[in-house]
Each structure stands twice: as structure tokens, then as C-alpha cells.
Amino acid sequence: MNQVCVLGLGYIGLPTALMLAACGNRVTGVDIDANLLAQLRQGNVTFEEDGLQELYAKAIHNISFESIVPQAPMYIVAVPTPYNKTTKKIDVKYVLSAIDNVLDVCDDGAIIVIESTVSPGTTDKFIRPFIQNHVRGGNVHLVHAPERIIPGKMIKELRENSRTIGADSTEVAEAVRDMYMTFCVGDIVLTSIRTAEMTKVVENTYRDINIAFANELAKICRQDNMDVYEIIKISNMHPRVDILQPGPGVGGHCISVDPWFLVGDYPSLSLLIHEARKINDSMPGFVLQRIQDIKKENSLPQDATVGFYGITYKEDVDDTRESPTMQLYDQMQLHLGGGNAVFFDPMCQGKVLDGQVESFEEFLEKSDLVVIMVGHGHIRENVEKLGSKIVLDTRNICALPGCYKL
């Protein structure tokens, strides 16, 4: 039985730890958050994800949740890697602190797998020098095996997606591959650490640029009243065209962050990437402009109440990080000119915004104009309740007559 310690039990670490345990590995899940550990020990998973609670039930006999890092032959680091919003450079403090805790206890020859997304070159620039200065005798092997799972389909993608394992030697790469093969049926590619770092960032940047193209098309089509959704649908019938969907912006902690690593490190070489980021970041402002136009067209008073449906970064997840609605909220005072706003999100735990209401009925009652920011299953099922409202649908989920689109 493999023994593995997973450090960081967040959006990636928790499903990974549970999957490993459910597939016969002996797992210790470590986190610094005492509340999170208490919740997990009581049998509750800590965020909404299809199939996660069921996976927990299958895993529980092989996993313990601890605050202290144990001795183990293999460690997986899945802690956050934020970036500095001004310099666009990565902040590796959580990764280094996790590694520091491992170095306190690990044996000679232990393997440390970094799953957190890092900017290309982070291992050489920050992690290796850190280990050289902090190692307490013996040797550790570094591996970069970036995660690829998408919130909403995490469990399926953990099993089925192909993976990249970057290591310094084939022997170490194969040991890590064998561990992932206990649950992953996708292809597992072995490569260098530097290539693994770069491919992860490239994958998310590709998606960001594709979405930016869709968003730019939406703006062009709005200018001359063309239907961007129909145009994308028809274009995508070409066998070599695959355009994503426009929307109110790009959120989450991956696609809206990772391209900045390339812009931050290669500013004069990443012009397309930078422009795509700017286009996606302009979308919340574009939505606010659409609201102004629609208010005028319908002779709504300046202080009419705009109801924003959806606060999370995408449909059917509870994660609000960098979400388009949060971005829009920050710009709202400038654009809404003192108008009123209410917010509602059935997936959102607790109050995260001023003006947030708790019931859909109250939200509808207060809103003169409803803006669909997120296409949760809930609104798809209740779309007819918007029948008497003026609606701006930024996700193209509503077929009500007269409904405005991006």
C-alpha cells in the first residue's frame, strides 16, 4: 500500500487526497486551517462538488486529517499560489512553507510532488535554492505534476484526464506515475520539470485567449446588432474551428491568473496574451455599460434597482474568487451612477457582498432589471419566473422574448 501525504486540503488537495485514499493508498491530509480539519473529521466535505461527499465515504477508512506533517515517502503539495496584482509575479510563500514542514520530518530520498500551478521556472528560481538552504541532511526529489481538473467535473476528470509529470530522473517520474495510476486511467506523460510548469500555464492561457476572442466578437456583434451566439455556433461547425462562449468576464483562480505569469516574466514577448487578459478584464465594465443602455431604452429611472443573479465565478460551483460579479461590484459605483443594486446566488455560502439578499423571491421583488451573471442550474430551472422582468442575460441561457443579450 502506497503511503502519501497531501498538503493543502482546498479545491485540489481535498479531492486528490480522497481519490488516493478511495483507491487503496494510505493518505494523511494536512492543512493549517483548524476549522477545515474539524469539519472533515466530522464527516463533512468543505465545498460543493458533484460526487465529493460520496468519494469521502469511500475514502474515510484510508485517510486521516492532521495539522502536522508526518514522515512519508511521498508528499503532494496542493497549496495556493497567489500572484502579486501589481508586479504580476507569483508569490510562492505557501509552497515554500509547506516544503519547509516536509523537510523537518522526511527521510532521505523522499519525493515532493508540487501540484499547485506555478509560473514557469519557479522550481529552479525559488524551490531548489530554498531546499538547498533548508535541507536537514539527506536528499529529496522534486516533481511537478500540475493538476488539470475542472470545478464541476472534478471527480470524473481526476480519473480520466491525462496528466503531466515533470521530474529530474525517469526513476522518480515512474514512481510518481505509479502512484497516480492507482486512480488515473488517462495517459501519463513523463517530461522535465520546466516543461511541466510551462505546459500548465500554456493550457490555461490558451483557454483565456479563446474566451477573449469570443468576448471581442460579442462586442463587434453588439455594435451592428448581429447574433454572436449563432455566429459562433455556425463557425464551430467548421471541422477546425472551436470558439468558446462570450460572457461577463473570466473568473476563478486559474484562467484569470496564470496568463499573468507569462506577462509578468516576458512583458515584451506576451503581447497577445496581455491583450486577451485586458479584453476579458474589460467584460464586467461592458456589462455595466449594457445596463446603462438598457435602462435608457426602457426609460428606467437612474436609481432603478439592478438585480445581479450569480456571484460565483461560474455555474454550479460555490467559489467566488476573482468572479466577474466581484470584479463588476468593484467598478459598480463608478458606472451605475449611484443606482441601486441587489445580488443573489443560491450557491454562495454566507454574505460576501453588500446588497446581497438570501431568497430568490426577495431578489425578484426588489429588481427592476435582472442581470444573469452566472448560469446556475437553479436559474435554468426557474427562468420562467423572470417573465415579467427586463432581463440582461450575459450567459445566453434564457429564451424569454425580449431578453437582452451581451
Return residues touching ligand SAJ (CB under 6 A).
117, 147-151, 203-204, 207, 211, 244-245, 247, 250-252, 254-255, 313-314
- Please, which residue, 134 or 156, has the CB nearer to ligand SAJ? 156
Nearest alpha carbon to residue 143 among 125, 159, 127, 154: 127
Percent of the chain that is helix, strand, coil (3-state, to 5): 45, 15, 40
Query: Is position 389 annotated as part of the catalytic site?
Result: no
- Can you tell me whether residue 105 is helix, strand or coil? helix
- Please, which residue, 29 or 252, has the CB nearer to ligand SAJ? 252
Query: Is position 200 annotated as part of the catalytic site?
Result: yes
- Please, which residue, 214 or 364, has the CB nearer to ligand SAJ? 214
Nearest-approach distance from CB 153 to ligand SAJ, in angstroms:
9
Nearest-approach distance from CB 130 to ligand SAJ, in angstroms:
23
Distances from the Cα of 48 to the Cαs of 69, 242, 255, 379, in angstroms? 26, 30, 20, 17
Please classify residue 171 by burial: count the beta carbons closer than 10 Å to its beta carbon, then call 0-12 exposed, 13-18 middle and 19+ buried. Answer: exposed
- Please, which residue, 251 or 339, has the CB nearer to ligand SAJ? 251
List of residues 6+ apart from 204 with CB closer than 8 A? 117, 254, 255, 258, 259
Nearest-approach distance from CB 65 to ligand SAJ, in angstroms:
22
Nearest-approach distance from CB 296 to ligand SAJ, in angstroms:
26
- Give me the catalytic one of 200, 295, 314, 405: 200
Beta-ladder partners of 205: none
Q: Strands 305-309 and 188-191: what pairing?
A: unpaired
- Give me the catalytic one of 5, 221, 254, 403: 254
Beta-ladder partners of 6: 29, 76
Catalytic positions, please?
Answer: 200, 254
